[in-house]
């Protein structure tokens, strides 16, 4: 009689998470329940008189009772604008118009066949992880573009598509503060950091490159960790895909011709964009020739739309999948129909997130957590690790990196400066904590989008299955990233160009 292989602790833990998670109601119901709980909590905390002093403004924050007359008016009059102003909704819809044409014309499939057949299969996962981490330079657009493509790549080589989708999402979300390039997030955060640092040293000036060395090394670390988690932990749990398999056939001469023309149109388009961005006085540059704070960076999503749309049309015309403008329109309609479940979910999620923001509950809890850490009076590495865990916990309630930093920077940047640590160190510790729970926070709206995309390959998939697949990334990212941070701190290595670990008053 064959003995059953004993399951590891990790497998038993993840199985428990999956079973418990799959017993939860539909995500739409969950967000509706959460919205109701926020309303009730706003009433209770308001009556309790829960307050906190904002370190950013010095004002006293109070919990707003959303079940009051004024609160109900706010809910009713803003319900539509909450939905239409829900940032991920517009980004997803705009990006998917172009991606839909590229997919349904056959361009993406042909491009994958050409790429996968010529690439070593053992490098697919690390290349995918690197692409996902690097893709954060495109900000939120990466969440929409990469996971579906990753799923198709995995399916085309006989691997479970959901593994590719999960790996890409985890790398984008969890690796948002690791990159080999400076991103718009660097510029956004350093402005907040500098303001907080000026409370101690009015002459302190922060640079967008203040965390670059640590970020670059973190990129290599996360690629290794995410690849190991994908292959050794996540993929074995999904097993063999039982759905329709897509075998890779050789690229036909007609497809090669289509790819050639798609490539030509893409290069022409990119050349035009470069011509408008490259010169300091370029049309898409910002004030005084700024690059990161520019129409180019702000308009990255519509630019990505045309990067997929134009080559998609060119390919379709050459291979015959597009014979008229009606075919293009039909492909766009099909792309929108694929998003129907996400659009409905976005309506409910937008309300819940708006309620949470209006109530001030998240802001007050963040400040209270920071005060608790200060009260512990720890020192050095231990305090930074505690700070990272506080940020990671708060991130489950407040997904916006800038919103959390506005609240936390005025507390922690001066505090660590008085302890002799550079603002660059505090900012990087914040970014580590902000990133490690990104894959599993339900308040990151793209989690709902991931679930909607996943239903293409498993109509019965539930939140528990996705969460149990994403948790290993958060756990191992946290362990390895914190170890790297602690070693970096102990060795006294600079976080970025011109930034030392120490700060002298």
Q: Is the pLDDT of residue 176 over 90?
A: no
User: What pLDDT digit, counting tens, does each position of 33-60 carry?
Assistant: 888 998 999 999 999 999 888 765 678 8
Confidence bin at 1 (pLDDT 50/70/90): very low
What pLDDT digit, counting tens, does each position of 327-340 carry? 999 999 988 887 77
The pLDDT score that the predictor gives to residue 191 is: 78
pLDDT tens, position by position, 434-452: 999 989 887 677 887 888 8
Q: What is the rounded average pLDDT of the residues 81-98?
A: 80
Residue 370: what pLDDT?
Answer: 67
**Cα angle for residues 43, 46, 49 (degrees, 5° grid):** 155
Alpha carbons 76 and 89: distance in angstroms, whole number: 20
DSSP string covering 416-460: HHHTTB-HHHHHHHHHHHHHHTTTT-TTSTHHHHHHHHHTTT-TT
What stretch of H or E contains 51? strand 51-53
Report residue 485 as tokens: 């941070």
Considering the entire predicted model, what is its pTM?
A: 0.71
| CA distance linking residue 64 with residue 66, whole number of Å | 6
Mean pLDDT of 280-284: 88
Computed over every residue of the chain, the mean pLDDT equals 83
Contacts of 269 (CB under 8 A, 6+ apart): 306, 307, 310, 311
pLDDT of residue 425: 93
- Could you report the per-residue pLDDT of 388-407, keeping only the tens digit for each? 998 998 888 766 677 678 76
Confidence of residue 6 (pLDDT cuts 50, 70, 90): low
Question: Residue 458 corresponds to which tokens in the numbers above?
Answer: 């498993």
Please count the helices (runs of H) and the strands (runs of E) in the chain. Answer: 22, 2
Task: Specify the DSSP class assigned to residue 53.
Answer: E
Inter-CA distances, 102 with 98, 280, 450, 483, Å? 6, 32, 20, 42
């Amino acid at each position: 009689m064959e003995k059953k292989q004993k399951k590891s602790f990790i497998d038993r833990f993840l199985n428990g998470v999956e079973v418990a998670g799959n017993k939860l109601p539909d995500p739409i119901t969950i967000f509706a329940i959460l919205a109701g709980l926020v309303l009730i909590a706003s009433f209770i905390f308001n009556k309790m008189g829960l307050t906190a002093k904002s370190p950013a403004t010095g004002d006293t924050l109070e919990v707003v009772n959303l079940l009051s007359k004024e609160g109900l008016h706010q809910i009713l009059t803003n319900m539509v604008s909450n939905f239409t102003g829900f940032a991920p909704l517009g980004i997803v819809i705009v990006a998917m118009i172009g991606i839909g044409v590229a997919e349904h014309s056959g361009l993406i499939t042909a491009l994958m066949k050409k790429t996968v057949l010529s690439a070593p299969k053992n490098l697919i996962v690390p290349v995918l992880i690197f692409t996902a981490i690097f893709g954060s330079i495109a900000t939120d657009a990466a969440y929409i573009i990469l996971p579906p493509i990753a799923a198709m790549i995995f399916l085309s080589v006989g691997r479970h598509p959901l593994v590719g989708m999960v790996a890409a999402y985890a790398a984008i979300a969890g690796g948002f503060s690791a990159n080999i390039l400076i991103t718009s997030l660097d510029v956004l955060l350093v402005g907040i950091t500098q303001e907080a640092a000026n409370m101690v040293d009015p002459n302190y000036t922060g640079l967008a490159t203040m965390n670059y060395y640590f970020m670059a090394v973190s990129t290599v670390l996360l690629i290794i960790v995410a690849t190991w988690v994908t292959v050794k932990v996540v993929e074995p749990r999904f097993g063999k895909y039982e759905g329709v398999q897509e075998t890779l056939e050789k690229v036909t001469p007609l497809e090669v011709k289509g790819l050639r023309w798609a490539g030509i149109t893409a290069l022409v388009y990119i050349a035009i964009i470069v011509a408008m961005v490259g010169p300091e006085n370029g049309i898409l540059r910002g004030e005084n020739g700024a690059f990161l704070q520019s129409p180019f960076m702000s308009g990255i999503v519509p630019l990505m739309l045309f990067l997929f749309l134009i080559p998609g049309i060119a390919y379709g015309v050459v291979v015959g999948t597009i014979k008229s403008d009606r075919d293009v329109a039909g492909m766009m309609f099909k792309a929108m129909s694929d998003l129907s479940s996400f659009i409905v979910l976005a309506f409910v999620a937008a309300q819940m997130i708006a309620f949470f923001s209006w109530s001030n509950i998240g802001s007050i809890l963040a400040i209270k957590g920071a005060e608790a850490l200060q009260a512990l009076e720890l020192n050095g590495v231990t305090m930074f690790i505690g700070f990272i865990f506080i940020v990671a916990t708060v991130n489950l309630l407040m997904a916006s990196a800038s919103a959390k930093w506005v609240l936390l920077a005025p507390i922690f940047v001066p505090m660590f400066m008085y302890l002799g640590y550079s603002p660059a160190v505090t900012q990087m510790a914040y970014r580590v904590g902000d990133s490690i729970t990104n894959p599993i926070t339900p308040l990151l709206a793209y989690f709902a989008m991931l679930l909607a995309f996943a239903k293409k390959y498993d109509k019965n998939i539930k939140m528990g299955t996705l969460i149990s697949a994403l948790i290993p990334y958060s756990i191992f990212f946290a362990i390895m990233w914190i170890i790297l941070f602690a070693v970096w701190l102990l060795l006294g290595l600079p976080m970025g160009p011109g930034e030392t670990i120490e700060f002298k008053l």
